[in-house]
Amino acid sequence: MGDYLVRAVCGEGECRAFAVVTTAIVEEARRRHDTWPVATAALGRAMTAGLLLGANMKGEDILTLRLLGDGPLGAVIVTANAHSEVRGYVQEPHVDLPCTAEGKLPVGEAVGRKGTLYVTRDLGLKEPFFGSVELVSGEIGEDVAQYLLQSEQTPSAVALGVLVGADASVRAAGGLLIQLFPGASDGTLSLLERNLSNLPLISSLVDKGMIPAEIIAEATAGLSLEVLEKTPVRFACKCSRERVEGLLASLGREEISKMIREQGQAEVRCHFCGEVYNFNGPELERFLKEIG
Ligand code: ZN
């Protein structure tokens, strides 16, 4: 089975847990955007967070994460939907920074330690929900946990990890989210804190071949555990040639005439997935006719 997400209830309903393996999704994002290692790690962590935060969405709900830090990556943007699909990009995919003293990719430095994480939950026809929080470290996991606590009043532990191989491809990626329900006992809280402080990096657990249910079991050891559901997750974008045609046609006569005059063609690249759509001269002439 490819990448998938598992949700579970633990500690007799005192908390819930989500774990996801995203190795293939992050590798697909890397190939589509040609991200260099630290950008791959940042984008991968953000996409993994999007899937975890979006795990309870329904219908046409859409979750958007925007990390706007003062680091060299610029903006990191991710959207996830209720069909367990995620897409995302970083503004500057070609950032190269030396590893930290511990030999890790410096995600916090690349994202920036100062800035804001914006979260939008677009809930179909209902009013969208906006929340934001100042970045804690730019490492993304801590920032998302802080957001959940401050904006959604849910004490949460978030662990995100991407392991990039020597050839720059993604070796392992995944994430874990544990949320305490109101009324959870102090005993449960301290047990979880102890477990999580002893938990190896998520990316190393995934790299060892652990599946989401095993990661949750390790993080919640000592508590009862009921695995509820297993959902496949994937990279997907909603762009299409038809949508891009609509976009081009909406540019107006002047803009299209200028493209024909100056370039004789048009190339449109989707930010989110890197797909390139080409339109030749006669196609652009047709848009002009359609506008009338
Ligand atoms: Zn796209």
Mean pLDDT to the nearest integer, 172-188: 95
Q: What CA–CA distance (Å, rounded) separates 153 from 168?
A: 38
Residue in the structure block whose two tokens are 């579970």: 8
With b for 16 or more beta-carbon neighbours within 10 A and e for fewer, the 142-174 pattern comes to: bbbbbbbeeeeebbbbbbbbbbbeeeeebbbbb
Mean pLDDT to the nearest integer, 172-197: 95
Question: Ligand 1: distance of its center to the CA of 77 in Å?
Answer: 13
Question: Ligand 1: distance of its center to the CA of 116 in Å?
Answer: 25
Question: Ligand 1: distance of its center to the CA of 247 in Å?
Answer: 13
Mean pLDDT to the nearest integer, 183-199: 94
Question: Ligand 1: distance of its center to the CA of 271 in Å?
Answer: 7
Question: Ligand 1: distance of its center to the CA of 2 in Å?
Answer: 21
Asked whether 3 and 232 are in contact (CB, 8 A), the reply is yes
Question: Ligand 1: distance of its center to the CA of 39 in Å?
Answer: 19
Tens-digit pLDDT profile for residues 207-252 = 999 999 999 999 999 999 999 999 999 999 999 999 998 888 888 8
Question: Ligand 1: distance of its center to the CA of 45 in Å?
Answer: 19
Question: Ligand 1: distance of its center to the CA of 239 in Å?
Answer: 4
Question: Tokens in use for 153?
Answer: 């009043």
Mean pLDDT to the nearest integer, 164-171: 97
Mean pLDDT over the full length of the chain:
94
Residue 127 has pLDDT above 90, yes or no: no
Question: Ligand 1: distance of its center to the CA of 121 in Å?
Answer: 20
Question: Ligand 1: distance of its center to the CA of 33 in Å?
Answer: 11
Residue 152 has pLDDT above 70, yes or no: yes
Question: Ligand 1: distance of its center to the CA of 32 in Å?
Answer: 10
Asked whether 93 and 22 are in contact (CB, 8 A), the reply is no
pLDDT tier at 56, thresholds 50, 70, 90: confident
Asked whether 272 and 79 are in contact (CB, 8 A), the reply is yes
pLDDT of residue 290: 81
Asked whether 156 and 53 are in contact (CB, 8 A), the reply is no
Q: What CA–CA distance (Å, rounded) separates 149 from 142?
A: 11
Question: Ligand 1: distance of its center to the CA of 78 in Å?
Answer: 12
Question: Ligand 1: distance of its center to the CA of 97 in Å?
Answer: 28
Question: Ligand 1: distance of its center to the CA of 84 in Å?
Answer: 16
Question: Ligand 1: distance of its center to the CA of 272 in Å?
Answer: 5
Question: Ligand 1: distance of its center to the CA of 277 in Å?
Answer: 10
- What are the DSSP E strand ranges found in 165-282? 170-180, 225-232, 234-235, 265-269, 276-280
pLDDT of residue 289: 85
pLDDT of residue 59: 87
Question: Ligand 1: distance of its center to the CA of 16 in Å?
Answer: 33
Residue in the structure block whose two tokens are 């939907």: 81
Question: Ligand 1: distance of its center to the CA of 246 in Å?
Answer: 14
pLDDT tier at 19, thresholds 50, 70, 90: very high
Question: Ligand 1: distance of its center to the CA of 241 in Å?
Answer: 10
The residue type found at 58 is K
Ligand 1 ion: Cβ-proximal residues, 5 Å cutoff? 237, 239, 270, 272-273, 275
Question: Ligand 1: distance of its center to the CA of 276 in Å?
Answer: 9
Ramachandran quadrant class, 84 (left: phi over 0; alpha: psi -120 to 50; beta: rest): left
88 versus 253: the higher-pLDDT residue is 88
Grouping H, G, I as helix, E, B as strand and the rest as coil, residue 196 is helix
Residue in the structure block whose two tokens are 């989110």: 272
Tens-digit pLDDT profile for residues 58-90 = 888 999 999 999 999 999 999 999 999 999 999
What is the greatest pairwise CA distance in the chain? 71
Tens-digit pLDDT profile for residues 20-42 = 999 999 999 999 999 999 999 99
R_g of the chain computed on alpha carbons = 21
Residue 1 has pLDDT above 70, yes or no: no
Question: Ligand 1: distance of its center to the CA of 91 in Å?
Answer: 15
